[in-house]
Chain A
Amino acid sequence: MTAKERRIQELKRSVAEIDAPEAFALQQKGAALIDVREADEIARSSPQDALRLGRGFLELRIEESVPDFERTVVVMCAGGVRSLFAAEGLKQLGYRNVRSLRGGFNAWKNSGLPVETPRNLTAKDRERYSRHLLIPEVGEKGQLKLLESKVLFVGAGGLGSPAALYLAAAGVGTIGIIDNDVVDRSNLQRQVLHTDDRVGTSKVESARKTINGINPAVKVIGYEARLDESNADEIFADFDVIVDGSDNFATRYTVNDASVRLNKPNVHGSIFRFEGQVSVFWPGYGKHRGPCYRCLYSEAPPPELAPS
């Protein structure tokens, strides 16, 4: 018997092994399932909602993910051997309910249990978003969230321009823009998405070029249309957040009403002379229900009162 075989025999005596269906049942009841395979193995497929900590840094990182030493921890590798070593390491660290998945990920798959292909940041993403990755409030998890997010800009004008530029730079994965206007030279004093050589061309297309110039990975969905009650719900449905940069009351009410109906956060901004206003209208947020735009201004003022 080799030293390796001897050690595995010892571990099989000291570490509790369980089968895949039992591991799944424990996970459903709140146990942490930890995939300790190498990154390239995990990248292909991994059990749904597993913690992918890797064998190398397991002992150094687990406490952040599983602070409760009483919580049941199921360790999993490809075939059930590496997880024995990992499980022993966790026991020594102080985890009291550690199991090793017998047969590893192969057994998990063969039992027909749920798997997913985890999305990871590419090397280029890591470089581009390195400053985000350094902040714990964003980190890899947050950056992946941003990459999977969809934000709709109503208007590619003075408010939408800077907001869309920065959100594209921040890595918001999908940016929708609805605007039916063309670039006018008088827009360029503040609508920083557009350029002098695009005067007379579609604002949506101009925005697409600028956004993809900054961040080619951003998917830009353009709607060369005017937002109204007939199309708002359909367009809004696909997005996580609506950024209102519209320039007229009718559109603001349309944005508000559709956002409330679909329970989407409506990030509102407006400008008058030297004054700006910002709020988030999101009555569906939290326990203390916040207002919507109509709670503030139930009806649009007559057009003659609207400054221009």
Chain B
Amino acid sequence: MLGVLPGVVGMLEAVETVKILLGIGEPLVGRLLQYDALSARFFEMKIDHNPDCPVCGDGKIGQVRAPEKKQVQVTQPASGGCRI
């Protein structure tokens, strides 16, 4: 893995965190920001709340419960298993 890439992503996380703490600007809620290092491009994808989500579906927020096994797969995660 290109060692500088997590630097970019970690810094974007840091900026979002500071915004949330200060209560300023527009947080990256409901949007997935993708950065492609090779083409040097950012893409933004709108992502929606799923009313049938096993964890945050309607009426479930704040309840302490184990997530149900339910298949509402949208896509496979594009990433995640590598050693970060």
Which A residues form the contact surface with B (CB < 8 A)? 137-138, 142, 145-146, 149, 151, 155, 157-163, 166-167, 170, 172, 189-190, 192, 229, 233, 240-241, 243-249, 252-253, 256-257, 260-261, 263, 265, 267-286, 288-292, 294-299, 301, 303, 305-308
Contact = CB atoms under 8 A, between A and B. Distances in A.
Contact of A308 (B4, B32, B47, B82): B82
Interface centre among A249, A270, A298 (most CB of B within 10 A): A298
Q: Which 5 interchain pairs have the tightest Cβ spacing? A: A306-B81, A272-B79, A158-B6, A190-B3, A290-B29
Given A190-B3, A271-B1, A292-B55, A278 B84 contact: no
Given A275-B37, A292-B53, A295-B56, A308 B83 contact: yes
20 contacts: A142-B22, A146-B21, A161-B10, A166-B14, A172-B18, A240-B21, A243-B14, A243-B17, A261-B64, A275-B36, A276-B37, A277-B33, A278-B33, A280-B20, A280-B29, A281-B29, A294-B54, A294-B67, A295-B48, A295-B53
A63 B72 CA distance: 54
Contacts of A284: 61
A190 B13 contact: no
A229 to B, nearest CB: 8
B29 A151 contact: no
A270 B79 contact: yes
A172 B80 CA distance: 27
Contacts of A233: 64
B12 A283 contact: no
A138 B24 CA distance: 9
Contacts of A240: 20-21
Contacts of A277: 9, 32-35, 78-79
A248 B24 CA distance: 31
A276 B75 contact: no
A298 B16 contact: no
Contacts of B2: 273-274
A88 to B, nearest CB: 36
A277 B38 CA distance: 14
A299 B36 CA distance: 25
A260 B10 contact: no
B5 to A, nearest CB: 6
A305 B76 contact: yes
B18 A167 contact: yes
A291 B64 contact: no
A163 B84 CA distance: 13
A294 B27 contact: no
